[in-house]
Chain A
Amino acid sequence: MKPEMRRRRSFGRRKVCPFCADKSLHIDYKTPSMLKRFITERGRIVPRRISGVCAQHQRKLQVSVKRARMVALMPYSTTGID
């Protein structure tokens, strides 16, 4: 197989960082309802290749989620049994 053929598969629409798109959206550990969109059902942080968040905002998001976990506004993990 030629290297050109292996490279680039067709991508879908390029994802846009929701925080860059909407400047009014604030990343704050005190608003778990907003952060909830960026964690999985199990409580893990969604990787940015999935969520489309840019690197800068993902870093802020990560810190915020961890802070929110510390004060029990968000779960560390959810097993579903509870």
Chain B
Amino acid sequence: MIMGRIYETILIAKPDFDQEGFEKLHARLLKTIGDEGGLELKLVDWGRRRLAYPIDGHRKGNYFYFGYIASPACLKEIHRQLRLNAEVIRFQSITLSKSKPLGAFDFEKERERVVALTPDPQDEEEYGRRDGRDSRGGRDRGDRGDRGDRGDRGGRDRAPRRDDRDGAQTAEKASVTEVQA
């Protein structure tokens, strides 16, 4: 008898990951789960959010929440597929229930439970905003791009060196004239 658990997986895809790409991945995962007699419970697209810290050079990511019943072997296979997918930059799975035979799950009841457990978290505060506005309320301007060549900054031979000046008084005068100039 195949044992199973309720799992939830959060996966972060690259910010330019499109709906089409996700549907392909999703169909694949569904097939993996379905083959083992598991079931999808909930899928939420959290959309593009700002990451709290950059991952692989990305400052934003497409979040997907995925709740399902599956066997441990199936979870392993899901993880393998997520690792293979170059668009997925991070994923994390959490166990939500104890191990039970797959047939013993009351799917409808579990679905209700998972749905209740996971309020679609539109926590649009500091660490992520969906509509492209950042925490300071400004429009998202994207990357600033290369600043280009910044030119010569002068360097240490611009100011007169201390040992070139003769005496403290002249040094003081020199600094005054510098300010005026």
A residues with CB within 8 A of B: 28-33, 36, 67, 69-76
Is the CB–CB distance between B90 and A30 below 8 Å? no
Q: B12 to A71, Cβ gap below 8 A?
A: yes
A-B contact count (CB 8 A): 49
**For the complex, what is the distance from the CA of A23 to the CA of B55, rounded to whole Å?**
35
Question: Which residue of A29, A32, A70, A72 has the most chain B CB atoms within 10 A of its CB atom?
Answer: A72
Contact of B121 with A72 in the complex, beta carbons under 8 Å = no
* A32–B92 touching, CB < 8 Å: no
Which listed residue (A28, A29, A31, A69) contacts B52, Cβ 8 A? A69
Complex: how many Å from CA A24 to CA B121? 16
Q: A72-B51, A72-B53 are in contact. Are A67 and B125 (CB under 8 A)?
A: no
Give the complex CA separation of A17 and B12 in angstroms. 33
Contacts A32-B125, A71-B12, A75-B52 known; 6 new A-B pairs at CB < 8 A? A28-B117, A30-B65, A67-B92, A71-B63, A73-B127, A74-B52
B contact residues, range? 20 to 34
Chain B residues, CB < 8 A from A75:
52-53, 127
Chain A to chain B contacts (Cβ below 8 Å), 8 pairs: A31-B123, A32-B125, A32-B126, A33-B125, A36-B125, A67-B92, A72-B51, A72-B61
Query: Per-residue 0/1 for B38-57: is the Cβ within 8 Å of any A Cβ (1 yes, 0 no)?
Result: 00000000000001110100
A69 to B52 CA separation, bound complex (whole angstroms):
8
B94 within 8 A of A: yes
B128→A70 contact, CB < 8 A: no
CA gap between A74 and B49 in the complex, in Å: 12
B121 touches A30 (CB 8 A): yes
CB <8 Å contact, A74 and B92: no
A29 to B53, CA, bound (A): 16
